[in-house]
Amino acid sequence: MKRGLRSRLTQYGDEDFALFLRRGFLKSAGFTDDALDRPIVGVLSTASDFNPCHATAGHLAETVARGVRLAGALPFVFPTISLHEAFSFPTSMLLRNLMAMDVEEMVRALPLDAVVLIGGCDKTIPAELMGAVSADMPAIVLPVGSMLAGRHEGTRLGACTDCRRLWAAYRAGSLDEANLNRAHDQLMPTSGTCMVMGTASTMACLAETLGFTLPGAATAPAVSSDRMRIAEATGKRAAEMAIKGGPCPRDILTPTALRNASVVLQAISGSTNAIVHLAAIAGRAGLSYDLAELDRVGRDTPVLLNLKPAGSHFMEDFHAGGGLPGLLRRLAALLDLSASTVSGETLGDVVARWPTYLDDEVIRPLDRPVFPGEAIAMLSGSLAPQGAAIKLAAATKALFKFEGPAVVFESLDDLAKRIDDPDLPVTPGHCMVLRNAGPVGAPGMPEAGALPIPKKLGSKGITDMVRISDARMSGTAFGTVVLHVTPEASAGGPLALVRDGDVIKLDATARRLDLLVDEAELERRRTQWSPPEKPARGYTKLYVEHVTQADKGCDFDFLAGS
Ligand code: FES
């Protein structure tokens, strides 16, 4: 196989001329022949002024490049799309597949022998892994790392769990604007990804569990020297992978690795978004992510990690308290530590050599968990024939079993218009249903599933209600929120047929979600239903025509498999 600059030559019908031209352009930048004969490591940088979570990505790329050179290879830094949660209209999830295509096609097109994928903000690591698994070139992930925790008037603050808590208090009138504004300056005090167990932290931890990072890479803060040392070591390891020609992503991504990821997802009380991303990443290797197994392993795996929103600490505490290898040691009996990693070691090798210190308050022992039950449960029933998810660790136990009438919102616009209407016919005994917010419906399945508590109830001290939708929820959010109802309403799922006042029964313990309306009436409603109009052009048209449902990862149907 051709390596380095000799690989993937531009097609002019004359390979020697193509190489002559390619080397000539690089000579214009002052490269010597010695440099141009080295193996090449691509360093995918997601630096962007629109992505404050990745403010350090440029510096990380330079540090990775130093490691690549130290190991005798030649680094090339290149850009791809960069997605930030707060700068992606209408939702970053709509663009995740576009970024995954960008990653895959650039990794396939450029003359790389290995690639370092720098990512972090929620959709970036999933998109990078999806693209890398499809391209199946030697690849290693480097998360940008998390922010340090904020401090405000004696309290430690974490984005975005405390953003939501403070905003809810402000909406309910228990926090004034001046106090809200003072806290605002401290919510995101450094660059890096959200420092609670949101989607970014979850996906960094799962990338490390799957074996796609060097040990410790999930947890080192963005602004720490540990992060820079890991970046240099990542560059060195990528150079070795470029020289040896492996391992490739499909050597690492196995059913065993995915099962380990499910155990860790439960033990860290990770974001429910990870379910969708793991399904998409697995699908790229022709594997199916086993949602029943995720539910099953959860029954044996308590929440051990004491991080917000399920607990009280932050990513920097997790790092200092033993990091992900420390957690894997605690979970050893539940994991298959023979799984391999990009470092060339198995997870077991990493655990065996990792420092023995563990902070028992942050990484709890199995007999003193943060939450004794499973963090995430998968539901099914007449309202969700292909499944739905609920984060039990973020829900109110008294609502695990619920039966009550629905208040239905047709869309995100309808929700925004009516949620605070004083005449909204809603009581704490209702459940709120949001539809047409799924992969096709929104489109892009936004993080709108944690519907706000109507002002008229919030101001009376109601902090949680059962909420059901085909949307997703931020990993930093909390509440008794049923998500990912599949099939979604816009694909003709039963969610499309619910009417105000219909009784819905949730039994999270029995894993059931049912619409208590008889089948003849549902059939009558089904005949009146028609699918929503599709976008006329562009990427959004491609998206709604090809996106799969949540249980398959919301990937494009034509990108799954080999
Ligand atoms: Fe980027 Fe939270 S917004 S990680």
pLDDT digits (tens, 9 = 90+) for 355-393: 999 999 999 999 999 998 899 999 999 999 999 999 999
pLDDT digits (tens, 9 = 90+) for 487-526: 999 999 999 999 999 999 999 999 999 999 999 999 999 9
pLDDT, residue 169, reads 86
| Candidate from 48, 122, 123 with most ligand 1 atoms within 8 A of CB, to mutate | 122
How would you classify the pairing of strands 150-152 and 155-157? antiparallel
Residue 561 has pLDDT above 90, yes or no: no
123 Cα–ligand 1 center, Å: 9
As a whole-number percent, the residues of the chain with pLDDT over 90 amount to 93
Question: Tokens in use for 537?
Answer: 């052009």
Q: What's the predicted TM-score (pTM) here?
A: 0.97
Sequence-separated (6 or more) residues with CB below 8 Å from residue 26? 5, 36
pLDDT, residue 562, reads 67
Place of tokens 């997790």: 318
Q: Which residues of 338-377 are buried (b: 16+ CB within 10 A; e: fewer)?
A: ebbbbbebbbbbbbeebeeebeeebbbeeeebbbebbbbb
- Which residue puts its alpha carbon closest to atom 2 of ligand 1? 194
Partners of 515 in the β-ladder? 504
The CA distance from 138 to 239, in Å, is 10
pLDDT digits (tens, 9 = 90+) for 171-206: 888 899 999 999 999 999 999 999 999 999 999 999
Ligand 1 in reach of 121 Cβ (< 6 A) = yes
Q: Which helix (H) or strand (E) holds 326?
A: helix 323-330
122 Cα–ligand 1 center, Å: 6
Rounded (10°) CA dihedral 450, 451, 457, 459: 80
- CA-nearest of 197, 202, 206, 148 to 477 is 197
172 Cα–ligand 1 center, Å: 25
Sequence-separated (6 or more) residues with CB below 8 Å from residue 288? 279, 282
Indicate the burial class of 293 (C-beta count within 10 angstroms; 0-12, 13-18, 19 or more).
Answer: middle
Atom of ligand 1 lying closest to residue 52 CA? 1
